[in-house]
Structure 1
Amino acid sequence: MDFRLTEEQQDLQAGVRGLLAGRYGREALRASVDSGGALDRALWRELGEAGFFALRLPEAEGGVGLGLPEAVLVFEEAGRALLPGPLVATHLAAGTVPGAAAGTAVVTAFDLGDLRGGGRPLVAHLADADAVLGTPLLPSGEPVRSADPLTPLHRVAAPGSAAATYRDEGALLTAALQAGSALRTVELAVRYAQEREQFGQPIGAFQAVKHLCAQMLVRAEVARTAVYAAAVTADPAEVAGAKLLADGAAVRNARDCLQVHGGMGFTWEADVHLHLKRAWVRAEQWRTAGEAEELLAEELLAAELLTAGG
């Protein structure tokens, strides 16, 4: 099976990267942080006009008519840019919620666990949402402190459905966001290692820093490969494996990037901590590490029993 990107896929990825660089660069990112994570509706509509949410809708229904592999490429770029908002849920709702495909409606989902909330689940971006995926009613909720300043959270009174029919797709697209973040923190670490000098030379010349950056790159590329493969096969076990690898790569790479930056990385002015905080939240969305491990263990056990029985 050939997993190399086609010329059209490369053009799509480059186009999305260019769009986000022009529309959601560092100044816009920092403006989002300063606003307390409030969703930029104008940006959301622009994403809709660009086909971000309607990417997999058939052309006969006003969509772009592409597939899951192309969606993964687009979401990887969104993760690289730290684009905020319930991107996955709105994309998944494009064919069912009016306005979602065009970006005129914001759709969130019950994709987070209760995180020791006594059975009361968390919902991201509830205050900005027009609908919840797979649920006819928009619940009320109590705002709670979020680790990520760009992912406001509300705790709702009653448990909600995580829209099980979308779970694998949601997990894969979230894994693509994580892979994009992991790749971006590699770039941030390498750039800083080339610029920052100690003892008269860039810190990137030191073997310890070289090894750290190399480990980050391997981690990110392995995760990206797993995400691409799962997008082609759409196998639930491969999706679970991709989410597990991408979550680990996003969190560990952000931590290593902080280490390369040293004390500077822990300041509010640096962007590294935003990648780490977003990675923590995404790791709890759609499919957690524990859930992915359970699914993979079941698949391995089933394969082992089949082999033994044969």
Structure 2
Amino acid sequence: MVAPLHIQKEITTGLKINEIYNEDCLIGMHKIKDNSISLILCDLPYGTTQNKWDCILPLNDYIKIEIKIKNKMKEMCLNKEDYKIYCFDNNINSNQFKINWDKNSKLGLWSHYNRIIKDNGAIVLFGAQPFTSKLINSNIKNFKYDWTWSKTKGTGHLNAKRQPLRDKEDILVFYKQQCKYNPQFSKGKAYDGAARAGKKHQTSSYGEHGQFREKNDGKRYPRQILKFDIVGRGSLHPTQKPVDLLEYLIKTYTDENEVVLDNCMGVGSTAIGCINTNRSFLGFELSKDYFDISQQRISDAMGK
């Protein structure tokens, strides 16, 4: 699977399409050209486990500082508002705040995402509370709607006596303007109902509309709840997403031969979904162990 040369030239500087790179995505995304990615599909770290890799990435532009906590120095990433509060609490004046920010601040995820996504592209991100709320609030302007992945099995059995088992995850959709949307129809029973008679209709929610006939060939538009099996036994990553769910989202928001970015690729499931649906992919994965697994899975999927 090789992306056409013109696509490779349009997308990156120094990177190849249909490759995953073992590097920090906040560094690697600098090499992706503006307005070049059709879909960003990513399962970001939620920050809800003790795994070393499960640290929330800086969502907005940030500055790194060292703070003393319990007699130990800890490096933290603060967004502009939080850094402003930090400066106020530590008697750093507004002029020095501005100098420090202008000199030392770095781009967060949204600065990269908004630069590289096409005008009609979607940014589709997995989440679970409380990370879901944090993610939405980090870019409330471009948040449009969500899906719910309904799982076949619940998790969180150690807390079963204190709270319900977790059997869903959120899928959040962001875009700057109406994105490409290819509804994945399900099959139902066809019907041909009677035409609605009378004058033009008026509803409080949608306004005035004309007469229409209730006729359907059996196609059913998708609803927000998506039911897919979890990966279960044999999973290669603690938060591994099912390939068929990723394929569903890839087909919903892209056409064939378009490019999908997953900047936290894990074990390469998004890449497998792209291969299976004839899309191109580009990804980053910081963990060398998971990167190596993704390379083997992609090689197997391509029949190498």
Select the structure with the greater relative contact order (CA < 8 A; seq sep ≥ 6): 2
Same fold per superposition (TM over 0.5): no
In terms of fraction of residues, the more strand-rich structure is 2
Structure whose alpha-carbon radius of gyration is higher: 2
TM-score (norm 2): 0.24
